[in-house]
Amino acid sequence: MQNHPALPPTEVRNAASSGLDELPTLEILRVLNAADREVAAAVAETLPAVAQVVDAADAALRAGGKVVYFGAGTSGRLAVLDAAELAPTFALEPGRVEAHIAGGREALVRAIEDSEDSEPDGAAAAATLAAGDVAVGITASGSTPYVRGALRAARAVGATTALVTSNPASPLAPLADVVIAPDTGPEVLTGSTRLKAGTAAKLVLNGFSTALMVRQGRVYDNLMVAVVATNAKLRRRSVRILQAATGLAEAPARDLLAHADGDVRTALVAHLAGVDPAEAGRRLVAAHHDVRAALGLPAPTPEPAPQPAGAPE
């Protein structure tokens, strides 16, 4: 059977999984696992583009703007997941990184497949964007109308736009200042983009948001110093993080953290700068909560951010 030339790669049949329903259970899993191993290599090829979007988003957040994801189905759920996890992990304030899924909140737990076909809904979801913000559209096939509407609206107001897709020939590419297109190829189960394409989107978003939070100074060394300790497990983790960053024993680390109202960054700056927690807190506020900046340490120089290309014809 020949592949239809107009189909996106995610819709093409995969010869490597032919006869899938005739295989023993373990062999089915091996076929899936072999396909999964292809994904990381495909994402690796896109890292320069991901870095561009990270640096654009860093500039946007530092200027008081925001980053907004738009997606449908699996792509939208992954976007919502990524945005939701930034607050507890990095103490990110509400509204800085947001996500919109076609079909709204209900689509998170129940598939509303026709919602992705509404370009006006995508445009409406992007209505709060302004010049200087960053819009990231996520669509495995590269053709979702909801994402098209969002990117068009974002482009019209001068926001920087990015596209995450598993279709290197995506028709939405002209709407994006930066295209991130890991070439994951045909799915094991034809058209099921919750598989390789979904894994690729998850890897891209993991890398993007984590690197963005590193650039924002919400990480010190490789430590999660901005973690919001809302339960016993995270309070224990906060003590361990402070110990790792300072070399303190558990008891003095716990005592220092208590004097810093449980904030690891405040305790860390107080210890390393030799100041009291109140002064450490003031330095962090002045440095936009960037630990290295609060300590007077140099920050890395980012690559130039991509410039919005203006409204398309």
Determine the 3-state secondary structure of 95 from DSSP.
coil
C-beta separation of 140 from 15 below 8 A = no
| Strand 67-71 to 160-164 pairing | unpaired
Give the CA count within 13 Å in the CB-facing half-sphere of 196: 32
85 is catalytic: yes
Active site residue 313: no
Torsion angle of alpha carbons 249, 250, 255, 258, nearest 10°? 130
Which is the catalytic residue, given 38, 85, 119, 279? 85
Give Cα separations from 267 to 94, 143, 278, 296, 307 (angstroms): 23, 48, 10, 16, 39
Give which of 276, 217, 225 is closest to 246, Cα–Cα: 225
List 11, 98, 116, 187, catalytic entry: 116
Least Cα distance to 167 among 300, 6, 4, 16 occurs for 6
Helix H or strand E encompassing 12:
none
Euclidean distance between CA atoms 64 and 120, whole angstroms: 27
- Give the span between the Cα atoms of 247 and 256, in whole angstroms: 13
Instruction: Taking the CA atoms of 71, 75, 80 and 86 in sequence, report the sign of the dihedral they define.
Output: negative
Packing angle of the helix pair 264-273, 250-259 (nearest 10 deg): 110
What are the catalytic residues? 85, 116
